Chain A
Amino acid sequence: MQFSSEFETRFTEMLTHYPTKRSVLVPTLLYVQDELGYLSDDAVNEIAQRLELSDLEVRNVISYYSMLRTKPAGKYNVQVCTNISCLVRGGEEILRHCKETLGVTQDKGVTPDGLFSVEEVECIGACCWAPAIQVNYDYHENLTMEKVDAVLESYRKREQQ
């Protein structure tokens, strides 16, 4: 499998940081996911071989961490926090609004064009700036419905450019 040169540089360097190869597994899986959008069977096999693990050992780790996925999400994964601090400042309304606006009915559902997915997530560490969402790794905080609309529109525009 081909990964970017940035990935290869990072991967090679990370291996020097630990006494065992296996220790790079979790961050490596996240970097692979960033490149491919999800952890495909081929990617799992590739990482397993590189770290001298079985595919099953790698899958065992993937299934544990909530940020790792084996199915594609939207290009922009809208993660809405509804945990306690966001809850009392309108997090659930933000979640409904995102789903309605994007026409996504299921949790982790993807829009037909593959541009967006919407996911209800646990606390993202934005409690003091609630309600908040994360689109991929970008934080958007102190939200109102109008701000959410503007955020989603900004990603749409990014695609049109």
Chain B
Amino acid sequence: MADLVSHPDEVKAISWRWGKGAANIDRYLELDGYKAVQKAIQMGSEGIINEMKASNLRGRGGAGFPAGMKWSFVPKESAKPKYILCNGDESEPGTCKDRMIFEHDPHSVIEGVMIAGLAVGAKTGYIYLRGEYRYLSDIMMKAIKDAYARGFLGKNIFGTGHDFDVHWHGGAGAYEVGEESALMESLEGKRGVPRIRPPFPAVVGLWGGPTVINNAETLASVPHIFMMGGEKYAAIGTPKNGGTRLFGISGCVERPGVYELPMGYSLRKMIYEVAGGVWKGRKLKAVVPGGSSTPVLLPEEIDIGMDFDQCMKAGTMLGSAGVVVLDDTVCMVKFALRTMAFYRHESCGWCIPCREGTDWLKKTLVRFHAGGGIKKDIDNIQYLAENMLGRTFCPLGDAAAMPTIAFVKKFRKEFEDHLEGRPCPYEPQAALEQLPVIA
């Protein structure tokens, strides 16, 4: 089990049951479990959606689309069954928050799926978990089984006449599957490649039926919103950014971990107070604020509040809220290369700008870092990334291009230093002798 951390500035709306044995259904019930869904049943579809809109909850997967609005897009009448799909395939480097939810509070996800189902008139929900998280699948499967045994799932839930089923579904390793249309393809037993949109999943989704797809953190937030009230939840965060966020702080800090903080919390405070500052007394060099796809920030750019709008204004993104902190010993060319190696590996190959673009960027960065670069490469890297931006079938191409553009723009001197002090002036000789590690 992953270690829990805490800090006085945390506002524990989602994580308050963590470490209290809430994976056990009896304990979950002691901790107000399954009360939110019963409350939601009383409110009816329109009441549920209005409460969600009042909460200002924006999708926690990265895009930040208002959840209540997303639910309202599902047509009321449908010839085909409607579905709820929980996206628990978190795979973005720097991101490990959903793992904590499934481990410590799996029933809150089930409850969130149920409430979403009641809102849109779906009778079936699927919880898709990444394949590597097998131990979480065991926890999740037991939670679902226990919920059925108590009559919370299945026919006539809580004696209200509503039927609702929830099933677990396991992946087998593919970052691309985190993209919602690729997730549906994967759940249908195919390669996880994206679908053409429109139509959007809310209208034509799983097996052609209207489907609501939400991130696990989004759905786990839902029961808490219904217990505390949408407006009260919204008041925790900033305007248009309701509630709290699970921030996974990793990299070169003294106290890495998953912390729940209000939306809009200062990035500087997050690094220097919550996470204990840069480790080993070193200096801050850069921060990747929201998972590997988000453009890097310099030390002088960290006086921002961490919400979707303030991050956007600062030229980056909140993304999955996976904050990766880098100290002054990290080679930024190497870091850019490792980032691109990931996107090259995970590109589904469906469209050429992404398949070829990530491959060329990775190859160029490997050669450049190893001392085989030429001056023109620096501009070429930027040019290639800029030409991928907005030209790929799904957001994976942008996820690869955006950070690369920022790496070159903000650390150009470090790229130039590699031409002077070949191969890499920032890494110890022992590490360089082993190059390239990334095949």
Contacts and interface: CB of A to CB of B under 8 A. Distances in A.
A120 B335 CA distance: 16
Contacts of B342: 83-84, 122-123
A82 interface: yes
Given A30-B172, A127-B250, A82 B131 contact: no
Interface string A4-28: 0000000000000111101111110
Given A17-B167, A122-B345, A139-B135, A128 B2 contact: yes
Interface string B137-161: 0000000000000000000000000
Nearest to A137: B134
Interface stretch (A63-71, A110-118, A144-152): A63-71
A84 B172 contact: no
Contact of A125 (B130, B191, B192, B346): B130
Most buried by B among A64, A92, A128, A141: A128
Contacts of B81: 19
Interface in B303-351: 322, 324, 326-327, 330, 334-335, 338-339, 342, 345-346, 348
B190 A20 contact: no
A127 B189 contact: no
Interface string B170-190: 111111000000000011111
A75 interface: no
Contact of B174 (A60, A64, A126): A64
Interface string A90-131: 001001100000000001000000000000101111111110
Interface in B218-258: 248-252, 256-258
A80 to B, nearest CB: 10
Contacts of B251: 84-85, 88-89, 127, 130
Interface of B: 2-3, 81, 90-96, 99, 126, 130-135, 165, 167, 169-175, 186-192, 207, 248-252, 256-258, 288, 292, 322, 324, 326-327, 330, 334-335, 338-339, 342, 345-346, 348, 431, 434, 437-439
Given A61-B190, A64-B192, A65-B131, A128 B252 contact: no
Contacts of A25: 189-190
B122 to A, nearest CB: 14
B437 A82 contact: yes
Contacts of B322: 127
A84 B96 contact: no
A30 B207 CA distance: 23
A22 B346 contact: no
29 contacts: A22-B188, A24-B189, A26-B172, A27-B170, A61-B190, A65-B172, A65-B173, A65-B174, A66-B345, A68-B172, A84-B93, A84-B288, A84-B335, A84-B339, A85-B93, A88-B252, A88-B326, A88-B335, A92-B431, A96-B434, A120-B438, A122-B93, A122-B346, A123-B94, A127-B95, A127-B248, A128-B2, A130-B250, A137-B132
A87 B4 CA distance: 22
A85 B94 contact: yes
A137 B174 CA distance: 16
B132 A125 contact: yes
Contacts of B132: 67, 124-125, 134, 137
Given A123-B93, A128-B249, 7 more contacts: A30-B172, A68-B173, A82-B438, A83-B342, A84-B292, A127-B93, A129-B256
Top-3 shortest CB links A-B: A25-B189, A67-B173, A65-B172
Contacts of B334: 87
Contacts of A24: 189
B328 to A, nearest CB: 11
B191 A61 contact: yes
Given A20-B188, A65-B174, A107-B439, A85 B250 contact: yes
Contacts of A44: none
A29 interface: yes
A22 to B, nearest CB: 4
A23 B171 CA distance: 11
A123 B91 contact: yes
Nearest to A66: B173
Contacts of B95: 123, 125, 127
Contacts of B90: 125
Contacts of B135: 137-139
B187 A23 contact: yes
A69 to B, nearest CB: 10
A125 B170 contact: no
A26 B186 contact: yes
Contacts of B3: 129, 142
Nearest to A10: B141
